[in-house]
Structure formats: C-alpha cells, structure tokens
Amino acid sequence: MTRTYLRVPLVRRVEYLVAFLESYIDSEFDEKHALKAVQQRIHLFEIQKAKALGRQRPQMRKGASTLKECIALARHLGFVDQSMHLRPDARKVLDPESRRHTLLERMWQIYPRFKQVVMGVRDAERLDLSFYGRGDAFRQEALPLYGFDFNQVIFEIVRDLATELNLINWHPTEGKRHIVYPVASVSTYAEMFSLAGLPVVEGTFAQRCQHQTALDLSLLTVAEGRYQAQAHLEQEDNGYLVLQSGSDRVYIKDHWAATEDFEQTLWEEYLTLSNMRPRFPVLYPNLRNRVCASLLLSDRAFDQCLLTLIRKPQRLNIYPSGGVLNYAANLAHLGKFLPPQTSKGNFIVYLKIERRSDK
C-alpha cells in the first residue's frame, strides 16, 4: 500500500526537484554536489526575477532548506530510498516527456491535500481567498467555504505545484485576495461510472468535465436524456492524460481556446486595461491574468497562443516591447508573473494591440 503524507514539502518549483535528482552521480548521493546543484538553479531563477525588475543584484539564497525539502519530496514520491540511493523511477522525472505524468500520478496518490485542492477548485469553479491569510486566518475562511482544513502555507505549495503542472491557475485581485480556477478537465472513473442511469445534467463545470470525458472515452452513452453504461471499457485515451490512483483512474485534459475565441477575448480584455485606446501599452502579466481567467487557460497556453499570433497575425496586430515589471521586490510569487522571453533573452513586458485594417 502506498503511504500518504499530509504535509507537502515546501518545494515551490519542480525545477528544484529536478536539479536535485540530476545531481546524482552513478545513482549515488553527494550532499555538497546536491546543494551546489540546487543553489545554481535557485540563483538562475533569482537572476531572471532581478532582470525582470530591472535590478542589478539578484537576491542571494543559501538553498540548504530547499535541498532538505527536495530530499523529503523525492523520498515521499519514491524517487530515492531511505539510504538516499536513486531509484529507477527518478529517470521518468528527468525526462521532460514523462515528467508531468509521473509527478501528477505520484502526487495524486501520496498527498491527499493535493487531490483535495485540485478537485475543490474544479467543483467550486472559482475560489476567492485571502492572498495573505497567515496564522489560522486562512483555515477559518477556507474550511467552511471549500473544506480546506489546513493553513495558508500548505495551500500555497499545493496551488503553486498544481499551477506549474497545468491543473489550475490563479491571479491576485484588489484587497489582498486572489482567484483560483481550473485550467484542465479532471474526472475520475468512479464518479463517471456512478452516473449510469442518472439524468444528464451539465450545469456545473465538474458535471461538464464528467459528461465530456465519459463520452470521449466511450464509458457512457446518452439515451432519452439519461446516461447509459457501455458494454465495454474504453479502448483509447483519446488525448487524455491518465493517472492510476489505486483501483481508480483519473482522466485529465488541458483546456485550449480556438484562435478566434482567444483573439476576441484578448482584444476585449486589452481594451479594458487600456481604457479603450488601441496601441496603448499594457503590462503583459496583467493582460495574461485577465484572458486566462476568462478562458480558463494556463499561463503556458496563453504564451503559446499569443506568440503564435505575433508570428502569424490574424485579425490583430500585436506589438511586444521590453521594460521593467512594476512589482514589489519582496513579492514572493513574482515567478508566477514573469512574461516569456524573446530569442535574445529579453522579457516581453508590454503589449500594444490594434485591429488590422485589412481584416
């Protein structure tokens, strides 16, 4: 039986875990080498943040506590044993092609709170929580609303990992609060199987996820307004990421927006931020936050869609430009708001947009 842990180690970025695992030499652990590898990865990230803020000196972090947390995370997820030897499954994390699936499957099984937050966001569709609810303030607010019986730090760690793994997204609002929302369809086999014989209802986001997934995988059909069980199990994954969770399965499919829908929402949100002025510069992270929340997209999906439109314009001309982010230097979550970089390594900080005259 897989052991579960209530405490999720304080590792906010997957790249730190990867750096730790990459530090092994012939599957053997060397603490000094591991610390140096993690420190280098942290330092590179701090350099990026300092560059975005227009600062000459990045913050210096020793990295010892991060290494300790990476070791705990690697042990929990089964990538190293108690003697600190590298296990074969660690190679799946070192491979970018299998990394997301491996981490999601392990976290889903090992950390009940990871699953609870992801499914809680899916079921609520939109969480509105304090951004700085320290002490017991977060639990007092989140427990009656969403059933989260844990503190702010645990929520932030799970939120950040689930965001990086493209299950949820979030953005801050006025009044020191933030909105959290799903950016992927997540359904389990058990909950879809339980729909057999029930009337078709698609009122909530969760119900729509279950409905579409069950039909995509031929688990259920619809007859006379009710779900009917199929005589055979699904044969193909049909574009879904499939996690094994004990005797159950979890089906995940990322959200994407059609080009026309993305362009229209991009233009509308841009005009809102620019006070209806075309070709007026707006901050890239601010526009991305608004479009992602409207279309339920991950930051990565937004970046890919926008960069495609810059290279191949459709109905809009998009002009990217550099600059300096106007976030406070002590914003712990600055990494979440870093915009993409050009081939020359410059951040796209501002965007100016106008409708094309020939469209």
Q: State mean pLDDT over 200-204.
A: 96
Task: Enter the pTM of the model.
Answer: 0.94
Per-residue pLDDT band for 135 (boundaries 50, 70, 90) equals: confident
pLDDT band at residue 232 using 50, 70 and 90 as cut-offs: low
pLDDT at site 1: 46
- Report the pLDDT value the prediction gives residue 71, as an integer from 0 to 100: 98
What value does the mean pLDDT of the chain take?
A: 92
Q: Give tens-digit pLDDT for 307-330.
A: 999 999 999 999 999 988 876 544
**What is the pLDDT at residue 13?**
95
pLDDT, tens digit, for every residue of 24-40?
Answer: 988 889 999 999 999 99
Task: Characterise 290 by phi-psi region: left (phi > 0), alpha (psi -120 to 50), beta (else).
Answer: alpha
Tell me the C-alpha to C-alpha distance, in Å, between residue 149 and each of 8, 113, 117, 169. 14, 9, 11, 21
**Rounded mean pLDDT of 238-242?**
92
Check residues 268 and 55 and name the one with the higher pLDDT.
Answer: 268
C-alpha to C-alpha distance for 320 and 297, rounded to whole angstroms: 20
Q: Is the pLDDT of residue 332 over 60?
A: no
Q: Is a pLDDT exceeding 60 seen at residue 353?
A: yes
According to DSSP, residue 82 is labeled T
* Statement: residue 236 has pLDDT above 70: no
The DSSP line for 234-252 is ----TT-EEEEETTEEEEE
- Taking 70 as the threshold, does the pLDDT of residue 242 lie above it? yes
Q: Which of 28, 40, 107 has the alpha carbon at shortest distance from 67?
A: 40
Percent of the chain residues topping a pLDDT of 90: 79
